[in-house]
A and B are shown apart, each in its own frame.
Chain A
Amino acid sequence: MFTSIFSSVEVGLMFAIMALGVYLSFRILDFPDLTVDGSFVTGAAVGAILIVNSTNPFLATALAFGAGFIAGTITGVLHTFGKINALLSGILMMIALYSINLRIMDAPNLSLLQHDHIFTKLNEAWGNTGIDAAMASFFTSIGLSDFIPKTWVIIIVMIIFVLLIKVLLDYFLKTEVGLALRAVGDNHLMITSFSGNINFYKVFGLGLSNGLVALSGALIAQYNGFADVNGGIGMIVIGLASVIIGEAIFGTKNIVRVTLAVIVGAIIYRVIVALALRVEFLETGDLKLITAVIVILALVMPQVIAKQKEAKRKKQRRARLAG
């Protein structure tokens, strides 16, 4: 139980990077970008093929970000210069990427088990510190020997890395370029009248968004030990689920808070899935259905709650008037 939640948090942190990408396109740019299903795998594929060919895994992961960035800019160009509807631009790119991803990997599936990747490297460096052993003896001493995770390195490094991305993103969204990007999703009439080229910002924003998605894909591939050409199906819904869950819990008061909300949303989503899979009659294949149900609930529940509050307020009002 504890170990499955522990690994959900690890995976959730990696998916949080993808969710931040989805937040950029859906919320900041107000652009429902479906490229994500493809660009997630592009990240995994580029990272995996480079690692298989003995590239430094950190460099491979950085290049995965670049590949996703390019994919996103192409979606942006289709939409802005090709004047293709936003949803359709994303879908076209997603389909195109399926073939491109197959070409990159040269196989539907690529195993990384025999190769050095980010997490094996981290484990190596971590092994000498003795922190895991210290933590294990600590947990045993307080009588929690069942709850000892295999290693703390992934969760600690991922927390630092995700927070670093969050801080950079928060900063970026407050720069002159970042403010213009936010205005594009908010009021493009206004930003145009203040010399902002909305086409440029859309292309750049979609690049950044899909770069983050691909980065997440590369990390997940290394964590799982393989890249799969079908690994991106439904990714956009998972990203949305994270954004919506986070926003529902933490609100949308300011950027700093929302980016944190999205990260926590991604982790909560993973934990919910892990818990749901422990339910007797649910199987791994039901995962997509569970995801859809979570998103629907996260979308509908706030409305239901608001309605109930409103009904209660009216009832009290009537009671006061009658009394």
Chain B
Amino acid sequence: MLELNGIHKIFNEGTPDEKIAIDHINLKVKQSDFITIIGSNGAGKSTLFNIIAGKLFPDVGDVLIENKKVTNLPEYKRARYMGRVFQDPMAGTAPTLSIEENLSIAYNRVKTRSFRLGVSSSRRTLFKEKLETLGLGLENRLEAKVGLLSGGERQALSLLMATFTKPKILLLDEHTAALDPSRAALITRLTKQIVEEEQLTTIMITHNMQQAVDLGNRILMMDKGKVIYEAAGEEKQKLTVPDLLNEFSKMKSDGAELSDRTLLG
């Protein structure tokens, strides 16, 4: 489904701010995989997503979707393959447009835009149906401006908008991190429900280890632009948070050793 071959990305190359954000990452994502990614701040997780989505282009390596090379395809064209939800609940919706207008924009992710009305009566019925699955009563507020919704409501809408057109790949970048615990739990539950129902191929970045353990069939741990730990299948199902913390501290000590050596060298 999605393949990353030898992706390498450096920011500010040749300056004192030089930073290797992605260090030769290879990844094969199979149809209906649900991968969770964890890692410390600055590990390169968001950069990896940006490279998959076409917001950033790798210095070396290729991105393949359904065996087609899309490495140089611009972000807006690659959007046909993927749905995305961002950390900031404000980022996934247009605040001065109504709920139904936002859904209409999302509907057109996979269709060329025309001079027909964005919200027709048949589409309104579809939007209503889909909104009902969120269980937040948004189906009764179709004409309300999205800017008036709470963060949790906006994020639930963003999730729906990213998924109801059945994207080939769903990218979730810490999409519950900016919410209070109860809202975060709601979004996590909805994510699980939607991904299961639609059988979506999903990659989810999270800072919540419990979430990373509970969801998905594969887990990756990233540090300094590399994948340093990976588990799948049965191993993933048996994985607990203490196991992960253990892995985490192992890698941290490795890292300390590494930087000590670099300093001494």
Instruction: List residues of A whose CB falls within 8 A of some B CB.
Output: 171-172, 174-180, 182-183, 186-187, 189-198
Contacts and interface: CB of A to CB of B under 8 A. Distances in A.
B108 A186 contact: no
Given A196-B76, A196-B113, 14 more contacts: A175-B113, A175-B118, A176-B113, A176-B114, A177-B113, A180-B105, A183-B105, A186-B95, A192-B75, A193-B83, A193-B92, A194-B108, A196-B105, A198-B76
A192 B115 CA distance: 19
Nearest to B100: A179
A117 to B, nearest CB: 31
Contact of B91 (A179, A183, A187): A187
Enumerate the 4 nearest inter-chain pairs by beta-carbon distance, A residue then B residue, closest first. Answer: A186-B94, A176-B113, A179-B118, A195-B79
B79 A175 contact: no
Contacts of B53: 193
A65 B95 CA distance: 31
A172 B115 contact: yes
A179 B104 contact: yes
B207 interface: no
B109 interface: yes
Interface of B: 53, 55, 74-77, 79-80, 83-84, 86, 90-97, 101, 104-106, 108-110, 113-119, 161-162
B77 A190 contact: no
Contacts of B95: 186-187
Nearest to A196: B76
Contact of B97 (A186, A189, A197): A186
A175 B113 CA distance: 9
Contacts of A174: 101, 117-119
A178 B117 CA distance: 9
Contact of B77 (A171, A177, A195): A195
Contacts of A187: 90-91, 93-95
Contacts of B76: 192, 195-198
Contacts of B55: 192
Contact of A176 (B75, B80, B86, B118): B118
Contacts of A177: 113-115
Contacts of A194: 79, 105-106, 108-109, 161
14 contacts: A174-B101, A174-B118, A175-B113, A175-B118, A176-B113, A179-B104, A179-B118, A182-B94, A183-B105, A187-B94, A192-B79, A193-B83, A193-B84, A194-B79
A178 B118 CA distance: 8
Best-buried of A172, A190, A194, A198 by chain B (most CB within 10 Å): A194
Contacts of B92: 190, 193
A195 B80 contact: yes
Best-buried of A178, A187, A189, A195 by chain B (most CB within 10 Å): A195
A99 to B, nearest CB: 35
A277 B96 CA distance: 38
A194 B83 CA distance: 8
A194 B84 CA distance: 9
A190 B118 contact: no
Contact of B79 (A171, A180, A193): A193
Contacts of A190: 91-94, 105
A124 to B, nearest CB: 36
Nearest to A185: B96
Nearest to A198: B76
B108 A180 contact: yes
A189 to B, nearest CB: 5
A205 to B, nearest CB: 13
A115 to B, nearest CB: 36
A175 B94 contact: no
Nearest to A177: B113
Contacts of B116: 175-176
Contacts of A192: 55, 75-76, 79
Nearest to A199: B76
A183 B95 CA distance: 9
Contacts of A182: 94, 96-97, 101
Contacts of B162: 193
A203 B84 CA distance: 26
A176 B104 contact: yes
A172 to B, nearest CB: 7
Contacts of A191: 94, 105
A187 B89 CA distance: 12
Given A176-B118, A190-B92, A195 B109 contact: yes
A176 B76 CA distance: 16
B94 A195 contact: no
A189 B173 CA distance: 14
A171 B118 CA distance: 10
Contacts of A198: 76
